[in-house]
Structure 1
Amino acid sequence: MTTQPTAGRATHAVLRVPPASPAAAAAYFGASLAFHADVSDVAAAMAADGDPGFVLLDSRSTASWEQGHIPGAVHLPTALIAQEAAALLDPTVPVVTYCWGPGCNGATRAALALAELGYQVKEMLGGFEYWAREGFEFETMRGRERRIADPLTAPDETGDCGC
């Protein structure tokens, strides 16, 4: 039996702080989508014919880039953005940053550095880790590779998670 919280009293930690109003939630989640893209959406855009409308930027070190990176990505370590972004990036084209994965905020730091230089930017949630875990192709010094998709991170053979 599911119990409903009594007005003014939360029955557990989830509702101890009540949910935001629908208007505040819509503003928050709308803003979140303006700042983030997910791996599957980036992969679909990169695989589509033609220009995806953005530059995918790997902000990791050269050693990390050589260990594996997303095909078509531009390599620009975060520490070099201030000096080299203008030579590598068109300021009229949005940039989507990525780093290792959800445990790393390198893509966030790169996005901040780019935004401070005037670029429109989003961060790819999940980073390179989830790109590989979802079974998308990546490049290494040995050539292109692909891992079997982790069933905890990728949809089944239909390729559609329904979200």
Structure 2
Amino acid sequence: MAVSSLVLAFPPGPSAQSLDYLAAKLSYYADAWDVAEDLRNGVSEILVIDTRAPALYAAGHIPGAISLPHRLMDEAGTAHLARDKVYVTYCDGIGCNGSTKGAYKLAQLGFRVKELIGGLDFWKRDGHPLASGEQPGSLQGSAAGEDCGCA
């Protein structure tokens, strides 16, 4: 019998497999709302890394993020990073793979990493503020934006 549903043409796996897959997916990615909330609340276990060129960082970046272009991520370029943190990498957005390259290089060097879904593009679409200049800035203690309902 032909399946009339395009969604069901490939039926979902058993719930246990779905749980494993979805837990794994969540361990690799973070969304803008969750990152913003952690930055607002001063969660010290994460550090956000802007993997773009320094000039782009200075023009506008996630408050609290540090600039570390993915091209500089080697033993020497990451020597100052603490080993007990989780690093959240981002770039311009889904049309850029700088965050993936950065996360890959950090993982290769033994760091724990996640990527920000949609990068700076989704951060701005969600209405989160930007910092500018060479200093990280901060979101700590600022008011939350409109709740997206994702939390």
Q: TM-score range by the shorter chain?
A: 0.7 to 0.9
Paired residues of 2:33 and 2:150 also in contact (CA < 8 A):
no
Count of aligned residue pairs for this structure pair: 141
Query: Take 1:43 and 1:120, find their aligned partners in 2: how far apart are those partners?
Result: 19
**C-alpha deviations, 1:7-57, integer Å up to 9, x for none?**
x64213222222222111111100001111100000000001x43311110
Cα distance change, pair 160–17 in 1 and its aligned pair in 2 (3 A) = closer
Structure 2 partner of 1:11: 4
Q: Deviations over 1:114-154 (max 9, x none)?
A: 0000001111112111111211111124x98xxxxxxxxxx
Tell me, in whole angstroms, the C-alpha distance in 1 between the residues paired with 2:36 and 2:65. 11
Is the aligned partner of 1:91 residue 2:79? no
State which structure, 1 or 2, has the greater radius of gyration over its C-alpha atoms: 1
Compute the RMSD of aligned alpha carbons: 2.1
Deviating beyond 6 angstroms after TM superposition, the runs of 4 or more aligned structure 1 residues are: none
Whose relative contact order is higher, 1 or 2, with alpha carbons under 8 Å and at least 6 apart? 2
> What is the match of residue 46 of structure 1?
39
Could you tell me which residue of structure 1 aligns to residue 13 of structure 2?
20
Unaligned segments of structure 2, at least 5 residues = 138-144
Change (3 A) 1:16 1:74: same
Asked whether the equivalents of residues 90 and 115 of structure 2 are also in contact (C-alpha less than 8 Å), the reply is yes
TM-score (norm 2): 0.84
TM-score, length of structure 1 as denominator length:
0.78
**Structure with the larger helix share:** 1
Partner-residue secondary structure (3-state), 2:78: helix
- Structure 1: gaps spanning 5 or more residues: 1-7, 145-155
What is the identity percentage for the equivalent residue pairs of Structure 1 and Structure 2?
A: 37
C-alpha distance 34-44 of structure 1, shift in aligned 2 (>3 A): same
